Amino acid sequence: MHDQPPPLAERIALVTGANSGLGRAVVGALAGQGATVLMVCRDATRGEDARHEIMAATGNPQVHLFVADLASQAAIRGLAARVRERFDRLHLLINNAGTAFPARRLSPDGIEMALAVNHLAPFLLTNLLLEPLRTAAPARIVNVGTRINTAMDFHDLNWERRPYRLMQAYGQSKLGNLHFTFELARRLAGSGVTVNCCFPGVFRSNLGGTDGAQGWFWRTVALLLGWALPTPEQAARGVLYLATDPAMAGVTGGYYSHRKPIPAPVQTQDPAANQRLWAISADLTRLT
């Protein structure tokens, strides 16, 4: 049995992609309730600006910035080491950072960028932070996924043999979030650390904007129709439900949207496929 979690004001949460969109809204809500929040951002200026605005809006000084480009495995290892150095426990890990690319690009580790940032980064970071999560148990991990899920091509994960398509590459990498969630839940059974995946719905976003994936067409659509979409703050409610609601205590291995379980794509319901991607991911990230 694991104890009740401490009040939110005594909990420590780490949120990736924390300077904008959904991640920033989640940080604002957690900081507003007094939690200590570790913001992971790739750009120091954007991160510092967001951190100061959130501290001013919430009056919570316990908002910390960790700068790391999640495309780089060396940066992820450095990030995890710095977090572990300063915090021996972590109650919440929210793997939110995500992006898309207009053309195939390779990470510093030679991996297609959507796969590197959207799937391998949360895979590696989570594994490197399991110790402080286990120490803090009951602890929760929330992976932010999507419903654009393209089947995993295990023979060409790195997009070497097919023409690169933005949405397919994005969808394949985000399907990885579900394979990862289900296999991690199996591995963490009984540890007091739960993991669930959240589809936050479609909302106003800068997704892929920094990486050039938003061409003029989508920018115009966003400008004209953006007002009709939910705000990141509205979308954040589903993530916060999985991360903090007492109703989710002990619940693990689920896929949720708007606080309700939703069916996972059939290929992620196959434990062998989940274990297969885990083994490939461990190999690609040299996780021992």
Ligand X SMILES: NC(=O)c1ccc[n+]([C@@H]2O[C@H](COP(=O)([O-])OP(=O)(O)OC[C@H]3O[C@@H](n4cnc5c(N)ncnc54)[C@H](OP(=O)(O)O)[C@@H]3O)[C@@H](O)[C@H]2O)c1
Specify the residue, 136 or 277, whose C-beta has the smaller distance to ligand X: 277
Residue 99 · residue 117 · CB < 8 Å: yes
Rounded CA gap, 285 and 288, in Å? 9
Rounded least distance, CB 170 to ligand X, Å: 7
Q: Is 69 in the site for ligand X (CB under 6 A)?
A: yes
Rounded CA gap, 180 and 199, in Å? 15
Q: Is 252 in the site for ligand X (CB under 6 A)?
A: no
Q: Is 20 in the site for ligand X (CB under 6 A)?
A: yes
CB closest to ligand X, residue no: 21
Rounded CA gap, 117 and 177, in Å? 11
Specify the residue, 71 or 193, whose C-beta has the smaller distance to ligand X: 71
Give catalytic residues, as residue numbers.
170
Rounded least distance, CB 27 to ligand X, Å: 10
Q: Is 210 in the site for ligand X (CB under 6 A)?
A: yes
Rounded least distance, CB 173 to ligand X, Å: 9
Q: What is the DSSP string of the chain?
A: --PPPPPGGG-EEEEESTTSHHHHHHHHHHHHTT-EEEEEES-HHHHHHHHHHHHHHH----EEEEE--TT-HHHHHHHHHHHHHH-S--SEEEE------SS--B-TTS-BHHIIIIIIHHHHHHHHTHHHHHHH-SEEEEEE--S--PPP-TT-TT-SSS---HHHHHHHHHHHHHHHHHHHHHHHTTTTEEEEEEE--S-S--TTTTTT---HHHHHHHHHHGGGSPPHHHHHHHHHHHHH-GGGTT--SEEEETTEE-PPPGGGG-HHHHHHHHHHHHHHTT--
Q: Is 97 in the site for ligand X (CB under 6 A)?
A: yes
Q: Is 123 in the site for ligand X (CB under 6 A)?
A: no
Q: Which of 13, 15, 17, 115 binds ligand X (CB under 6 A)?
A: 17
Q: Binding pattern to ligand X, positions 24-63, x when CB under 6 A?
A: ------------------xx--x-----------------
Residue 199 · residue 146 · CB < 8 Å: yes
Rounded least distance, CB 107 to ligand X, Å: 9
Rounded least distance, CB 232 to ligand X, Å: 6
Q: Binding pattern to ligand X, positions 129-148, x when CB under 6 A?
A: ---------------x-x--
Rounded least distance, CB 20 to ligand X, Å: 4
Helix or strand holding residue 207 (H, E): none
Q: Is 71 in the site for ligand X (CB under 6 A)?
A: yes
Q: Which of 38, 80, 92, 117 binds ligand X (CB under 6 A)?
A: 117
Q: Which of 36, 60, 73, 99 binds ligand X (CB under 6 A)?
A: 99
Specify the residue, 32 or 209, whose C-beta has the smaller distance to ligand X: 209
Binding site for ligand X (CB under 6 A): 17, 19-23, 42-43, 46, 69-71, 96-99, 117, 144, 146, 174, 200, 202-203, 205-207, 209-210, 232
